[in-house]
Amino acid sequence: MQQTTNGDLDSKSLVQLLQSNRKALVLLLLITAIFTYIFTLPVFITPLYRSDVILYPTSTNSISKVLLSSTNQQNKDLLEFGEDEQTERMLQILSSNKIRDKVIDQFDLMNHYGIKADSRYRLSRLYKSYESKIKFRRTEYMAVKISVMDKDPVIGAKIANEIAELFDSTMNGMQKEVAKRAFEIVETEYFKLRNEVRMMEDSLTVLRSFGVHDYESQAEMINQQLAIELAKDNREGIRRLEERLDVLAKYGGPYVSIRDNLEHERKQLSHLKAKYEEAKVDATENLPHKFIVTSAYEAERKAYPIRWLIMLISLSSVFFLGMIIIIYLDQFHPATALKKKP
């Protein structure tokens, strides 16, 4: 065998070495191909079918802020796709145990994955199988892709579509917990303030029954008329005007105080009523939080295993391993090397 000056094989010698052992290599590759074909049959590797759902998050979460509010989020569009922040939030929720547990229960995945209910570490195995077969990732166009690998293409498609639907119910459930509590707080304050306003209005009604309708203008007019009656020295007129002034003196202060407070409280009530209506909508109504671009359908061809790729990798690996063994035996164990043709 020819070698270079430093003891390494040159390319010509390597080709000759492989040619002299080609029968052994061909036999080795043939055996590898046969075993690879056999061990990639469904009896050894369960075929898996892939189902995909592609969806976008919406840009907003609060119904009232978009539909009812006149000051907040005026530039938000209900039909606008979400951006990076909403996409990341969608990925987090899709990966949550709330959705995972619902899917496991609904499709009985413990039995579907062949995990016995009384086996040791059954939950760990179940969650590991779930995470290995159900994946969530962000696409290059900021959408979210749900991929489900399953031995049954029908169930796989159903799981993928159900996860997409569960995103809405999970989001709504999380938000409703906060929205309902906020609504209860606003509702309590709104009705409390409304009752206070009604009490002040009733108090003003009582004061008006005593003749106090507009303290400032009434006081000015009575004083002007009193000056006229004094100039005329009209005793009866003076007495009547003084009685009216006594009523104003007695009830004018409370009237002005209640009137001014009522004006302020009415403004607060109007503002609080708007908050009440917004909180009520958030607590009782739902909107979708996603746009579905592609729904999952029953796959016709298996996605795993890819037999030709496994075959290619196996043959390539065995070929290079055979080369290394032949070179090693030729270089360091010539006495045990494979016999070469003359």
Burial of 21 (0-12, 13-18, 19+ CB in 10 A): buried
Write down the pLDDT at residue 244: 77
Same domain membership, residue 198 and residue 188:
yes
Same domain membership, residue 235 and residue 253:
yes
Q: Identify whether the C-beta of residue 52 lies closer than 8 Å to the C-beta of residue 147.
A: yes
Q: How confident is the model at residue 75 (pLDDT cuts 50, 70, 90)?
A: low
In a domain, 80, yes or no: yes
Left, alpha or beta for 225 (phi > 0: left; psi -120 to 50: alpha)? Answer: alpha
Same domain membership, residue 209 and residue 111:
no
In a domain, 340, yes or no: no
Instruction: Copy the structure tokens of residue 32.
Output: 């590898």
Write down the pLDDT at residue 212: 77
Same domain membership, residue 110 and residue 159:
yes
Report the pLDDT averaged over residues 28-39.
Answer: 84
Query: How far, in Å, CA of 70 to CA of 206, rounded?
Result: 38
In a domain, 2, yes or no: no
Query: How far, in Å, CA of 143 to CA of 291, rounded?
Result: 10
In a domain, 339, yes or no: no
Same domain membership, residue 189 and residue 173:
no
| Residue numbers of the domain that contains 219 | 182-284
CATH of residue 127's domain is 3.30.1890
Higher pLDDT, 35 or 340: 35
Write down the pLDDT at residue 77: 54
Report the pLDDT averaged over residues 280-309.
Answer: 82
Higher pLDDT, 234 or 158: 158
Query: How far, in Å, CA of 179 to CA of 284, rounded?
Result: 9
Same domain membership, residue 265 and residue 230:
yes
Given a cut of 50, whether residue 116 has pLDDT beyond it is yes
Using one digit for the tens of pLDDT, what is the confidence trace for 160-171?
999 999 998 888
What ranges in 210-305 are assigned the alpha helix state H? 215-232, 235-284
Dihedral (Cα; 291, 294, 295, 298), 10-degree rounding: -170
Q: How many domains does the chain have?
A: 3
Same domain membership, residue 162 and residue 59:
yes
Q: Are strands 134-138 and 144-150 parallel, antiparallel or unpaired?
A: antiparallel
Report the pLDDT averaged over residues 29-39.
Answer: 84
Using one digit for the tens of pLDDT, what is the confidence trace for 198-245?
998 888 888 888 877 777 777 777 777 767 767 777 777 777 777 777
Report the pLDDT averaged over residues 302-309.
Answer: 78
Using one digit for the tens of pLDDT, what is the confidence trace for 258-290?
888 888 888 999 888 888 888 888 887 777 788
Given a cut of 70, whether residue 154 has pLDDT beyond it is yes
Same domain membership, residue 115 and residue 222:
no
Write down the pLDDT at residue 31: 87
In a domain, 163, yes or no: yes
Same domain membership, residue 113 and residue 56:
yes
Q: Which of 242, 308, 283 is nearest to 33 (CA)?
A: 308
In a domain, 299, yes or no: no
Same domain membership, residue 275 and residue 187:
yes
Same domain membership, residue 278 and residue 132:
no
Same domain membership, residue 203 and residue 58:
no
In a domain, 272, yes or no: yes
User: What phi and psi, each to the nearest 5 degrees, are found at residue 52?
Assistant: -125, 145
Give the residue carrying structure tokens 């009522």.
Answer: 262
Q: What does the mean pLDDT of the chain come to?
A: 81
